[in-house]
Structure 1
Amino acid sequence: MNMHMVLLYGCAVAVIVPGIRLLTTLAAEDGGEIPPPVALLRAWRRPVPGVAVGLVAAMVVLGAVQTVVPGTIDALARHPHGAWWRAVTALAVQSSGWLQLLFNLAALAVVAPVAERQFGPWRTMLVFAASGVGAQAVSMAGWSVRGGGDSVAICGLVGALATWYAVRGGVVALRWVALLVPTAGLVLCLLTNNHGVGLLVGAALGVALTVPARSPLSG
């Protein structure tokens, strides 16, 4: 295994491990710790987070479409010298097949409802769209001119939650651990990996979101 792969796996750990801890802490809301499966169920309680439902439903439908009509991937994904709108549509297809589709669907189902309860529906959608389109645009500019997937947008939600918690979170130790997420984003950008762009755009927006009040969904 070369150094590039070591750094990639290291960044994955630096995002996933603090991310799980952060999500479970935010889902608990009372500062306590609960198992990740319980956190997932609690995040989907009433009032149901509508944007999260919409994103997950859209991903399921689009996944079914690209399975039945494989040409959908080529029609919407990034291409060398492709039109600008592909930076948006590339979020709608998972170019690496079923493994990518299932992994991203599971990640979205865990992250999106927690983000919506923390930021509210429109801010959650803003972070998802800005992080995803930004990462796809950088990829089209030369980092990775072929492909598609919404993992970069999901990374944006994780990045936003991490920096929000680093500024306003209640558990001091976790606030420091959360900073591993944007740090991993910076390293990934140095490796020209588009997930780093998603993480950093989300992290920047997360700092901005420390100013507004919490959404009514979080009550």
Structure 2
Amino acid sequence: MNLHSEMLYGCAAVVVVVGVRVLAAIAVLGDRDTQETRDTGETSPPQALLRAWRRPLPWAAALLVAVMVAFGIAQLAAPGVIDALGRQPHGDWWRAGTALLVQSSGWFQLLFNLAALVTVAPVAERHFGPVRTLMIFALSGVTAQAVSMSGWSPTGGGDSVAICGLVGALATWYALRGTDLLLRRTAPLVPLAGLVLCLLTNNHGVGLLMGSLLGAGLALPARRPLAA
């Protein structure tokens, strides 16, 4: 394994480890105000992550998951969908958006990204609200795909860059306004990993940094986390 690969895997490990801790902390924070939690006591982080799908249903997260599943089935049934919607060298500008709909590496990428989306999206929606969650997802994803089309990675597709945007936004928000001091100090490792990935011309870094910028913008005003 060369240095480039080691740095890529190192950044991925940082994003996953720190990101999961931030997700759990924010999920617990959002779960404290529910009636069930007030009746039974504070939930554990894994329970809080699962309860992010509680009623009322986080509709934006459900929409993102439904769209991903629908296009996943479509690309498995008709692989030509990937070429029709994914990034292409010198491709049309609209592919920066449609490339988020297909997973060009096949079923493994589809399952991995779907699991990530199911975990991250409802927590983001409970925290930022549905409209801002969709905004972060779309802006982070489209920006990363556009940069990829400019030369970093002209072919392919996937929504992991948009999911990274949600993780970056949550991590940066927590770094600025979180309650756990130790986690606040480690959360900036997520945007830092995004910067390193950008230096390695990996499009996930663009998603992380765009999401981090948006998360910082949502954290700077003194506001409560937005309910779904």
- Normalization by structure 2: what TM-score? 0.92
CA contact (8 A) 2:28 2:45 kept: no
Match of 2:44 among 34, 39, 42: 34
CA contact (8 A) 1:91 1:149 kept: yes
Q: Counterpart of 2:10?
A: 10
Deviation at 1:28, TM superposition (A): 1.1
The 2-side partners of 1:137 and 1:14 are apart by 25
Q: Secondary structure at the match of 1:146?
A: coil
The 2-side partners of 1:77 and 1:171 are apart by 40
Q: 1:38-187 residue pairs with structure 2 within 5 A?
A: 38-187=47-196
Count of residues paired in the alignment: 216
CA contact (8 A) 1:24 1:33 kept: no
Gaps of 5+ in 1: none
CA deviations on 1:106-133 (whole Å, 9 max, x unpaired) are: 0000000000011000000000000000
CA contact (8 A) 1:166 1:179 kept: yes
The 2-side partners of 1:216 and 1:122 are apart by 11
The 1-side partners of 2:5 and 2:24 are apart by 29
Amino acid at match of 1:7: M
Q: How large is the Cα RMSD of the aligned pairs?
A: 1.4
Amino acid at match of 1:215: L
The 1-side partners of 2:134 and 2:206 are apart by 17
Gaps of 5+ in 2: 33-41
- Normalization by structure 1: what TM-score? 0.96
The answer on 1:19 being equivalent to 2:29 is no
The 2-side partners of 1:184 and 1:26 are apart by 20
The 2-side partners of 1:5 and 1:44 are apart by 36
The 2-side partners of 1:33 and 1:46 are apart by 16
Q: Counterpart of 2:225?
A: 214
